[in-house]
Amino acid sequence: MKRAEVLRDLVDHGLGYGRERLYELAAELDLLVSDVLVVSGHPVPTHLRPPARDRDVMRAFAKQFVTMDHAHLAAVKNLVVALGSANPAPEGPDSAPAGRAFHEIFNGLLHNRGLDARSMPFTGLSMSTIHGVADGRSHSLQQLSVVAGPLAWQFDDLVAVADEPPGHFGSCPTMCRHVGEIFIAAIPLTTSQLVKATRKNR
């Protein structure tokens, strides 16, 4: 199957996949295991998710990347990786499975990174529009192109998961995948480590 077909099959028939096969697909697709579990409707183990942390601190951390160039983003990623490298994995119950609607999957992808609609960095969309995607009111191709970068997802992959037909749309400001890679690197960070990373980048 083509990549898009694999992703659609995970959305439509993911509960028929065993955990081992889902881990293999995550490696083949170069996606987070936690993301593949969300897309397929499976619970996400606690050790793959961020620890409990202050939402306002996470929002401050997320919003600092709006004006950074690639060299600065690379330096931030190195700092974040170093801060979280020795953190123990969180313990606790698995998350509840995400529903099959795209907005439920989208929220699951955000939660895998410790994000929510309010903490998304400025992406050329208004806050109400991002909430519209998260609440299930809309998810146009333009909106998907804008949120792909902060998730470190390929645009075409999000289109497949959302089951949007291909088409043309106007250009708009987007954030590069490097920002999303920082959010992935920051998954293990605690609140105090997020504060430290935010202060060092000012």
Alpha helices in 42-176 (DSSP H): 55-63, 70-84, 102-112, 127-135, 141-151, 155-162
Gyration radius from the chain CA atoms: 16
Buried-exposed string 50-59: b where 16+ CB fall within 10 A, e elsewhere: bbebeeebbb
* Cα 103 to Cα 105: distance, rounded to the nearest angstrom: 5
Using an 8 Å Cβ cutoff, are 102 and 139 in contact? yes
Residue 181 amino acid letter: E
Q: Give the pLDDT score at 127.
A: 75
Residues 64-107 have pLDDT tens digits of 888 888 899 999 999 999 999 889 888 888 899 998 999 999 99
Check residue 140 and give its pLDDT. 84
- Angle value at C-alpha 163, between 46 and 26, nearest 5 degrees: 35
Give the pLDDT band of residue 124 (cuts 50, 70, 90).
Answer: low
- Give the integer Cα–Cα distance in Å for 22 and 10: 9
Mean pLDDT of 183-188: 96
Any idea which of 29-33, 43-47, 116-120 has the lowest mean pLDDT?
116-120
pLDDT at 6 over 80: yes
The yes-or-no verdict on residue 11 having pLDDT over 70 is yes
Q: How far apart are CA 116 and CA 131, in angstroms?
A: 9
Distance CA(180)–CA(186), nearest Å, equals 10
pLDDT given for residue 143 in this prediction: 85
The answer to whether the predicted template modeling score (pTM) of the entire model surpasses 0.85 is yes
Tens of pLDDT along 144-182? 888 898 999 999 999 999 998 877 766 666 778 899 999
User: What is the spatial distance between Cα 156 and Cα 124, in angstroms, rounded to a whole number?
Assistant: 19
Lowest mean pLDDT among 10-24, 59-73, 74-88, 125-139: 125-139
pLDDT computed for residue 195 by the predictor: 95
| Residue 44 and residue 37 in contact, taking contact as beta carbons nearer than 8 Å | yes
Please state, in angstroms and rounded to a whole number, the distance separating the CA atoms of residues 162 and 183. Answer: 22
> To which residue do tokens 């951390």 refer?
61
Q: Locate 115 and state its tokens.
A: 């994000």
Give yes or no for a contact between 49 and 155, defined as CB atoms under 8 angstroms apart: no
pLDDT confidence tier of residue 47, bands split at 50, 70 and 90: very high
